[in-house]
Amino acid sequence: MNILYLAAGSQKWGMGHLKRSKFVIDCLRVEKQKVTAIAIIPDDRNIGLSKAISGYDHFVTGLASIKNKIFDGVIVDVHTDFQPEVFKWLKKQNRPTVGLDWYSKTDGVITQTVNLRGGAKVLKFALIRKEILKQTVQKKRTFDAVAVLGGKDSRGYLDKLLKIFVEDDFYKNKKIIFVVGPMVKGKISEFVGHKKGPVTILRNPERLPEIMAKTKVGLTNGGTSLMEFTRLGVPTIVFPQSKQEENFIPVFLRQGGSLRGSMNPRHLQQQLLNLWEDERLWEKKSQKAKQLIDGRGVKRTVQKILKVFRK
């Protein structure tokens, strides 16, 4: 089967769609499908985001760059803001199309949606990379907290959290890791590769899955990293960066593996202290988290896609 896979990222949208789609592309190729994978990065000519992403056949800055070719089906994984423009392009192609996390109009152009955000039933399609699935959370945890906030940290949480951890002596003997992506700017970017107080700041470390598995607490937003920490069984404190993420996180909060983050220093300190000192509470939240995502979402998603294209 000849499949066109379109995924998009940008400084505004983040790179989560491109990264998670790589897992689906790999699985489709294991299933002996011929996949042409195209990464659309509209602002790449200015900031070189494609350097941070591998596994795609072509990198383009717009839909006009994609040459017409006969495909058996199209898979689309793009940010909600980009979906109306992609919809117009797809309408001209007139091919069976599966939209991942597609929340715009379908009008017969999108044959099937596979939505990855919503309640517990939807999370069975959560796309968890194999590097995370190989990890197991150890009893002896190396780090007290690991912060992984995707995209460009649009609400400035990393700078605010860094200030709290550096200025409060309560954290001076703690081991804390901040992981920043290629688009994160702000004051924190000045310290990448260095340590500031109890915090070590890293940019896109290769050992990220291992680092995430070795922490007592994950600090994250409402995207891919939240799902990955949840699969690992690491209790999380969540700082959503958009309205979409605000709508996504309630299922994690209700399940009991996550807490809504606070920028109030005393409140945040108490949340962390509870998880650091109460092993029974930590274990309970860890088990609750693992019940939510079983790690088989990529296979389920691929099976659903192929079922659509084989009809």
Structural domain total, the chain: 2
Question: In sequence order, which ranges of 113-205 are alpha helices (DSSP H)?
Answer: 130-133, 157-167
Q: What is the pLDDT of residues 152-161, one digit of tens each?
A: 777 889 999 9
Are residues 105 and 172 part of one domain?
no
Identify how many contiguous H helices and E strands the chain contains and give both numbers: 12, 13
Are residues 288 and 301 part of one domain?
no
Are residues 199 and 154 part of one domain?
yes
Query: Which pair of tokens denotes residue 232?
Result: 């690992």
Are residues 162 and 48 part of one domain?
no
Q: What are phi and psi of 145, to 5 degrees?
A: -155, 145
Query: Which pair of tokens denotes residue 278?
Result: 């109460």
Are residues 267 and 143 part of one domain?
yes
What DSSP state is assigned to residue 192? T
Q: Which domain holds residue 67?
A: 2-127+296-310
Are residues 141 and 109 part of one domain?
no
What DSSP state is assigned to residue 68? P
Are residues 275 and 146 part of one domain?
yes
List b or e across 278-306, with b for residues whose CB sees 16 or more CB atoms inside 10 angstroms: eeeebeebbebbbebbebebbeebbeebb
Which of 15-29, 206-220, 274-288 is predicted with the least confidence, judged by mean pLDDT? 15-29
* Higher-pLDDT residue of 309, 117: 309
Q: Domain holding 201: CATH number?
A: 3.40.50.2000
Are residues 162 and 123 part of one domain?
no
Question: CB atoms < 10 A from the CB of 204, how many?
Answer: 12
Question: In sequence order, which ranges of the chain are alpha helices (DSSP H)?
Answer: 16-30, 44-47, 83-93, 130-133, 157-167, 208-213, 224-232, 243-248, 250-255, 265-277, 279-292, 297-310
Are residues 207 and 173 part of one domain?
yes
Mean of the per-residue pLDDT values of the chain: 90
- Burial tier of 17 (Cβ tally within 10 Å: 0-12, 13-18, 19+): buried
Position 46 scores a pLDDT of 53
Are residues 209 and 91 part of one domain?
no
pTM of the predicted model, to two decimals? 0.88
Position 52 scores a pLDDT of 62
pLDDT band with cut points at 50, 70 and 90 for residue 48: low
Which of 69-73, 101-105, 117-121, 176-180 is predicted with the least confidence, judged by mean pLDDT? 117-121
pLDDT band with cut points at 50, 70 and 90 for residue 73: very high
Rounded Cα gap, residues 173 and 183, in angstroms = 30
Are residues 112 and 156 part of one domain?
no
Are residues 138 and 247 part of one domain?
yes
Position 249 scores a pLDDT of 94
